[in-house]
Amino acid sequence: MAGGAFGPWVERIAGLIGSGRDRGWVTRAEIGAALEGPASSPAFIKEVLAALADMGIAVRGRPPPPDQAFTRLVRLGRARGYVTVDELNAVLPPGLSAEAIELHLARLSDLGIEVVEREPGE
């Protein structure tokens, strides 16, 4: 395994940074989970927090509330069993990364909501 004993730990930190870049923020709980490992001294944690700040990644106590528009889309999707690509695009913020879009698609899929090109019957 690449990285030996540090491999999983390095992967968690890389995932934390990737999520932070996609969203612009990470939670303290996510930082704690990523830093569980061999080098989690208070000084190292401060270095990671400084590095996140240098990358423009904010640290929050908890995630922000869900976007109301996306929440309404989920309700609509649950009622119909689907949402259209246009409906999804209308509620996603501009400039969203491909990874963040995939997370939204996965969330809809996990909820049993299909994303379709157009309304059935069109």
Model confidence at 113: pLDDT above 90? yes
pLDDT of residue 1: 41
Per-residue pLDDT tens digits for 56-105:
988 877 655 557 888 889 999 999 999 999 999 888 877 777 888 888 88
The tokens describing 81, both together, are: 């069993």
Beta-carbon contacts of 120 under 8 Å, excluding residues fewer than 6 positions away, are 82
DSSP H/E element including 5:
none
pLDDT interval class at 6 (50, 70, 90): low
pLDDT of residue 7: 66
**How far is it, in rounded angstroms, from Cα 73 to Cα 88?**
7
pLDDT of residue 42: 76
